[in-house]
A and B are shown apart, each in its own frame.
Chain A
Amino acid sequence: MKSNKYITGLFWDDTELIKAIKELQDKGIAIFDVRTPFPVHGLDDVLKLKRSRLPRLGFVAGAIGGILAFWFQSWVFTTSWPLNFGGKPFFSVPSFIPVTFEMTVLFAAISLVVGFLIKSGLGPGAENIIFDERTTDDAFLIVVKITDTSQSDKIFEVLTSVGASEVKHVEPIKTDTHA
């Protein structure tokens, strides 16, 4: 099981985890990833993760959906196949509102789901890398990638010193081989 690719430190508490991350950063050790069983408040700030750009995708897709729906209905009911509904004008904005609204929501929602899956590398057939199965239950894990093997002993020591309850060299398990 000994490999020189990743070193992981296991924690049982999210506040200890954040404290440890800060200490590691102070010592100049780059963190490859942090695995948690639930979203930890403040973790994004500590890791200096950029805010997701998904909302913009949602806005653009929603706007496209809304405009498309409105344009399509106006085209159908005035040009392509005008029908008389209860003597209303062919171009009746109020009757277009529900469909426009629904299409806006639909486009935004689908684009967000698909966009999220693509950006996160998830979805059917994706290979998920698991460093430690306990992070899917109740444990927290800091993963450090080793680029220079001479550093690995030092990183191992530092992880132990910041309070990790288990420090290991890890070869990640891939879900497809494991299942």
Chain B
Amino acid sequence: MHNASIKEFTKDFIFPKKGTTVLTIALVIGFLMTVVGYFVGGIDGHRFWANILLNGFLIIGLSLGAGFFVAVHLIAESGWQTSVQRIGEAIASRIWLGALMIIPIILGVHSLYHWSHTEELDALLKMKEPYLNLPFFVIRMFVYLAGWIFLLGKIRQVSLMTDTNPDIKLFYRLRTYSALFVVFFAITSSTASWDWLMSIDAHWFSTLYGWYTFVGIFVNSIAVIIIFLVVLQKMGYMEHVNNEHMHDLGKYLFGFSIFWAYLWISQYLLIWYANIPEETTYFVTRIKGFETLFYVNLIVCFLAPFFGLMSRGNKRKSDWLLYVSIVVFMGHWIDTYLAIMPGAVGAEHAHIGLFEIGMTVMYVSVFTWFVFKALTKARLVPENHPFYKESFDYENIK
């Protein structure tokens, strides 16, 4: 029944010249804002490197979350995801771009992490030195990046091979690489968040931090997958993705936003209850000096998607889903900002100015361009996938 219509939407994606122009203009505007912001705002080393870390982490997180999304669905053999798999793949396969954006923080280690000042370590940091030292930090970073780039690259490579070769063995191999990635990512997502974010406040620690950061990454990626999907539809592609698939992506965004809030409150509540100074310092520095953002963060990351996507009808409207996804994306920008700035810059110097906004516009426009380019390199749907037909014959229960 669907076969006739399938042929139509398998047309290849051609990224219009206009898209490149728009993104180039965004890049130039972002660059100008960054430069003007740098000189007008009197940006010091701390704030400069904190922004490099913020945007680098944000972009690499998008690739990782999208890769996790694809991998989990390939392992679980879910049917509906096949229809949007190529978007997740395209974002995940640009992991090297995120890697290039996060690697520079090695140069700014001394501005970001006070554990790197080896001559002035106190007793606590001395104890942590076997883990928190510069050589091991760099080694770990390259291990993570190598593993991610290899496994996500393999997933992409094998998936592209299926376009010309419908051998079922390729799909088994895809599943194997996905499983390896999920296991590797389960460990490295935690350790990477300790290394890059939690060690900014080197005296403080939370056992929930890795999970909390992971969920932030994942929700953000789902939001970005939705944004790409709706934009592609507005360009006249991906017509095969119907309300049912939108509904599922909406459920994803809704559910994991709640999970994010759940982990947020779990971390906050225990620290608040115990009221031990060495633990509460994390939240005290965030509530004092970042008070507005602290609460705005909860509103845009939790309340907005919670009430915005609660009803079934809202989850099925692609325009509405697009707006909520943009809000969630901005929310997780603030979330990452709050994770980095209070420790790395301090309340006196940190604020969101031209520099911060310009840099994010720059990074996001570059990333977007590369993802669109990745989308042009493959069919928009993996046509030989065993669940190809199933993903279109799919519907939600009323």
What's the nearest-Cβ distance from chain B to residue A44, in Å?
A: 5
Contact residues of B between 235 and 281, Cβ < 8 Å to A: 265, 268-269, 272-273, 275
The reply to whether the CB of B398 lies closer than 8 angstroms to some CB of chain A is yes
Identify A59's interface contact among B272, B310, B397, B398, CB under 8 A.
B310
What's the nearest-Cβ distance from chain B to residue A57, in Å?
A: 13
Residues of B contacting A39 in the complex (Cβ-Cβ under 8 angstroms):
397
Residues of B contacting A88 in the complex (Cβ-Cβ under 8 angstroms):
275
What 1/0 flags go to B311-323 for Cβ under 8 Å of A? 1100000000000
Query: What residue in chain B is nearest A93 (Cβ atoms)?
Result: B272
The reply to whether the CB of A37 lies closer than 8 angstroms to some CB of chain B is no
Query: What residue in chain A is nearest B269 (Cβ atoms)?
Result: A94
Which 10 residue pairs are nearest across A and B when measured between Cβ atoms? Answer: A51-B398, A94-B272, A44-B398, A94-B269, A41-B395, A97-B265, A86-B275, A39-B397, A94-B268, A52-B398
Contact residues of A between 141 and 173, Cβ < 8 Å to B: none
Task: Report the tally of A-B residue pairs with Cβ distances under 8 A.
Answer: 24
Contact (Cβ within 8 A) B395 A42: yes
Residues of A contacting B269 in the complex (Cβ-Cβ under 8 angstroms):
94-95, 97-98
- In the assembled complex, the Cα of A44 lies from the Cα of B269 at a distance in Å of 45
Residues of A contacting B311 in the complex (Cβ-Cβ under 8 angstroms):
55
Residues of B contacting A49 in the complex (Cβ-Cβ under 8 angstroms):
398
Interface pairs (23), CB distance under 8 Å: A39-B397, A41-B395, A42-B395, A44-B398, A49-B398, A51-B398, A52-B398, A55-B311, A55-B312, A59-B310, A86-B275, A87-B275, A88-B275, A94-B265, A94-B268, A94-B269, A94-B272, A94-B273, A95-B269, A95-B273, A97-B265, A97-B269, A98-B269
Query: What residue in chain A is nearest B396 (Cβ atoms)?
Result: A41
Residues of A contacting B265 in the complex (Cβ-Cβ under 8 angstroms):
94, 97
Query: What residue in chain A is nearest B271 (Cβ atoms)?
Result: A94
What's the nearest-Cβ distance from chain A to residue B259, in Å?
A: 13
Residues of A contacting B310 in the complex (Cβ-Cβ under 8 angstroms):
59
What's the nearest-Cβ distance from chain B to residue A69, in Å?
A: 15
Query: What residue in chain A is nearest B394 (Cβ atoms)?
Result: A41
- In the assembled complex, the Cα of A41 lies from the Cα of B312 at a distance in Å of 18
What's the nearest-Cβ distance from chain A to residue B173, in Å?
A: 31
Given contacts A41-B395, A42-B395, A97-B265, 17 further A-B contacts (CB under 8 A): A44-B398, A49-B398, A51-B398, A52-B398, A55-B311, A55-B312, A59-B310, A86-B273, A87-B275, A88-B275, A94-B265, A94-B268, A94-B272, A94-B273, A95-B273, A97-B269, A98-B269
Contact residues of A between 87 and 137, Cβ < 8 Å to B: 87-88, 94-95, 97-98
Query: What residue in chain A is nearest B274 (Cβ atoms)?
Result: A86
What's the nearest-Cβ distance from chain A to residue B336, in Å?
A: 23
Binding site for A on B (CB under 8 A): 265, 268-269, 272-273, 275, 310-312, 395, 397-398
Binding site for B on A (CB under 8 A): 39, 41-42, 44, 49, 51-52, 55, 59, 86-88, 94-95, 97-98
Residues of B contacting A44 in the complex (Cβ-Cβ under 8 angstroms):
398
Query: What residue in chain A is nearest B262 (Cβ atoms)?
Result: A101
Residues of A contacting B312 in the complex (Cβ-Cβ under 8 angstroms):
55
- In the assembled complex, the Cα of A6 lies from the Cα of B388 at a distance in Å of 42
- In the assembled complex, the Cα of A94 lies from the Cα of B270 at a distance in Å of 10
Residues of B contacting A51 in the complex (Cβ-Cβ under 8 angstroms):
398
- In the assembled complex, the Cα of A4 lies from the Cα of B395 at a distance in Å of 38
Query: What residue in chain B is nearest A51 (Cβ atoms)?
Result: B398
Residues of A contacting B273 in the complex (Cβ-Cβ under 8 angstroms):
86, 94-95
- In the assembled complex, the Cα of A49 lies from the Cα of B395 at a distance in Å of 16
Residues of B contacting A97 in the complex (Cβ-Cβ under 8 angstroms):
265, 269
Residues of A contacting B395 in the complex (Cβ-Cβ under 8 angstroms):
41-42
Query: What residue in chain B is nearest A42 (Cβ atoms)?
Result: B395
Query: What residue in chain B is nearest A92 (Cβ atoms)?
Result: B272
Residues of A contacting B268 in the complex (Cβ-Cβ under 8 angstroms):
94
Residues of A contacting B398 in the complex (Cβ-Cβ under 8 angstroms):
44, 49, 51-52
Query: What residue in chain B is nearest A50 (Cβ atoms)?
Result: B398
Residues of A contacting B275 in the complex (Cβ-Cβ under 8 angstroms):
86-88
- In the assembled complex, the Cα of A55 lies from the Cα of B268 at a distance in Å of 31
Query: What residue in chain A is nearest B397 (Cβ atoms)?
Result: A39
- In the assembled complex, the Cα of A51 lies from the Cα of B311 at a distance in Å of 13
Residues of B contacting A95 in the complex (Cβ-Cβ under 8 angstroms):
269, 273
- In the assembled complex, the Cα of A69 lies from the Cα of B282 at a distance in Å of 30
Query: What residue in chain B is nearest A55 (Cβ atoms)?
Result: B312
- In the assembled complex, the Cα of A51 lies from the Cα of B398 at a distance in Å of 6
Residues of B contacting A98 in the complex (Cβ-Cβ under 8 angstroms):
269
What's the nearest-Cβ distance from chain A to residue B390, in Å?
A: 12
What's the nearest-Cβ distance from chain B to residue A164, in Å?
A: 23
Query: What residue in chain B is nearest A87 (Cβ atoms)?
Result: B275
- In the assembled complex, the Cα of A58 lies from the Cα of B265 at a distance in Å of 24
Residues of A contacting B272 in the complex (Cβ-Cβ under 8 angstroms):
94
| Best-buried of A42, A59, A94 by chain B (most CB within 10 Å) | A94
- In the assembled complex, the Cα of A41 lies from the Cα of B79 at a distance in Å of 15
- In the assembled complex, the Cα of A39 lies from the Cα of B395 at a distance in Å of 12
- In the assembled complex, the Cα of A87 lies from the Cα of B311 at a distance in Å of 41
- In the assembled complex, the Cα of A86 lies from the Cα of B273 at a distance in Å of 8
What's the nearest-Cβ distance from chain B to residue A62, in Å?
A: 10
Query: What residue in chain A is nearest B268 (Cβ atoms)?
Result: A94
- In the assembled complex, the Cα of A86 lies from the Cα of B276 at a distance in Å of 11
Residues of A contacting B397 in the complex (Cβ-Cβ under 8 angstroms):
39
